[in-house]
Structure 1
Amino acid sequence: MPFLPGAEPFRHEGGEVGVLVCHGFTGSPQSVRPWADYLAERGLTVSLPLLPGHGTRWQDMAVTGWEDWYAEVDRELHRLREKCSSVFVCGLSMGGALTLRLAAKHGDAVSGIVLVNPANKVHGLAAKALPVVRHLIPTTAGIADDIAKPGGREIGYDRVPLHAAYSFRRGLQRLDSELPQVTQPLLLMHSPEDHVVPPADSARILARVSSRDVTERLLENSYHVATLDHDAPSIFEHTYAFIERLSVGSREAASRG
């Protein structure tokens, strides 16, 4: 099955600092590719995988779920760890949720995490009906393209497979109980006006993680897909500054040791 335009995975071989970038639910690498490109241009080793079932057609996604998506980013983290001295993980929306699970499961193997409008819950009354409705109705309307910037476009599905949505919901429920295991330095950037993931999700995450080095930034001029929106340059700059700060600190600590 051919990829949608721009949905191809991306890898860049750079220096000893690695970055794993994770895209969102029903989206593709296209939504975060400028983020990955910015970091690659600054000499970092970057991996941006395509999550299973994404980037082709919604029918392919209907037969995948949370564990498939997590397994893909887990494999990429291991690959980066084999070649890099430190690895950071970044994610948008569901990609932020996958980032948090990697941090919870892998401890010191993840040097820091960057989240943009991370998901913590599938919202709405319909979410509670997913266990039953998914057997009756295959899809619902898509969630792509929540962008304030005129002309901004996200390459994603125009339908949401409900079997996949149900798996996503269950995965988020499990992740919520794992959030206290997240101890890494954390940069969280979120939009006050987001029509897909409300700010309450970011607040919940910040309240439950155990990280002590935490920075929160508001994306005042962007909607959900902020990595393609007005605040994208700020996201990229703050991400690189966060990684550089922690990488320099690690090198200085190693030299003192």
Structure 2
Amino acid sequence: MTAYLKGAEPFEFTGSRASVLVLHGFTGTTQSMRYLGEELHRRFGFSVLGPCLPGHGTSPDEMEKTDYRDWVGAAEDALRDLASRGDPVFVTGLSMGGMLTLGLAAQFGDLLSGIAPINAIAGVNDGGLAEVVMTRNMPERVPGIGSDIKAAGVEELAYAEVPTACLRSVYLAQAAIGDILHKVVCPTLVIQSREDHVVHPDNAYRIMRKINAVDRRLLWLEESYHVATLDNDKAFIAQQIGAFVDGILARAE
């Protein structure tokens, strides 16, 4: 069994009417998504599954053994698990989790009733990742990217250092998923912080331009940075995603 850091454990809440898969970000853990999962279950009654992606929630040494194929594969497995249970399935994710959310919608749209990517990376970058990919003698580890949070005293459970090989891997994955956004046709609620120091906010515009969902909405966050699910807008996010899911369920009845 995987020895997770305290607070990084996978979680699951059994409910009814809909199942929601919640996916955390790159180098982060389920800690960043637990509040959202709890609120979707408590306030709306949905079943919620929050996996901890391979190499996350343990140590950078363990992360170094993984790449995008492991993270994508774990997300696919979780989606198929929820789909097999019979209720309509929705996916939401933060940052890389948002990227994975878009990838699932592009490849397995028949299994999904809607998605809500949050501060998702989808092919628009400020050049920092490209430098890591292209620099020949980059060190094996670079400083972490966690805890971009506006609210005072709130910390994200994330690695203090990141394996460079994993950064190269996530760069490849975001470029690939960015190129298949046109395959996303399910209802989509794009949530983006106006001030985000990790993922460029223009990713939200790119997602909105590229996807082919008839029902696509863009929601801006005014009081949160990148890790919005732990920030000042966390309750607002939970309410908006819950209402988004409720609305789709109501139209299907």
- Smaller-chain TM-score bracket: over 0.9
**1:210–1:119 Cα change, 3 Å:** same
Show structure 2 runs of 5+ residues with no match. none
Mapped contact 1:52–1:69 kept (Cα < 8 A): yes
Mapped contact 1:12–1:46 kept (Cα < 8 A): yes
**1:62 offset after TM fit, Å?**
1.1
Alignment of 1:170-189 (within 5 A): 170-189=172-191
Mapped contact 1:113–1:185 kept (Cα < 8 A): yes
SS at match of 1:118: coil
Residue matched to 2:49: 47
Mapped contact 2:132–2:138 kept (Cα < 8 A): no
Is 1:198 aligned with 2:200? yes
Give the letter aligned to residue 68 of structure 1.
D
Residue matched to 1:106: 108
Name the TM-score, length of structure 2 as normaliser: 0.95
State the Cα deviation string for residues 66-87 of structure 1 (Å, max 9, x = none): 1100110100111101113210
Mapped contact 1:16–1:83 kept (Cα < 8 A): no
Select which of 53, 61, 84 maps to 1:82. 84
State the Cα deviation string for residues 117-159 of structure 1 (Å, max 9, x = none): 1112373444334345476511111110000001111000011
Give the letter aligned to residue 148 of structure 2.
D
Residue matched to 2:142: 140
Alignment of 1:118-133 (within 5 A): 118-121=120-123, 123-131=125-133, 133=135
SS at match of 1:164: helix
Give the letter aligned to residue 241 of structure 2.
T
Give the letter aligned to residue 184 of structure 1.
C
Q: What percent of counterpart residues are identical? A: 38
Task: Give the helix-richer structure, 1 or 2.
Answer: 1
Residue matched to 1:56: 58
**1:6–1:134 Cα change, 3 Å:** farther
Residue matched to 1:236: 238
Name the TM-score, length of structure 1 as normaliser: 0.93
**1:134–1:202 Cα change, 3 Å:** farther
State the Cα deviation string for residues 83-133 of structure 1 (Å, max 9, x = none): 132100001100000000000011121100011111123734443343454
**1:146–1:83 Cα change, 3 Å:** same
Mapped contact 1:97–1:120 kept (Cα < 8 A): yes
**1:32 offset after TM fit, Å?**
0.9
Residue matched to 2:31: 30
Mapped contact 1:16–1:84 kept (Cα < 8 A): no
Mapped contact 1:65–1:164 kept (Cα < 8 A): yes
**1:125–1:241 Cα change, 3 Å:** closer
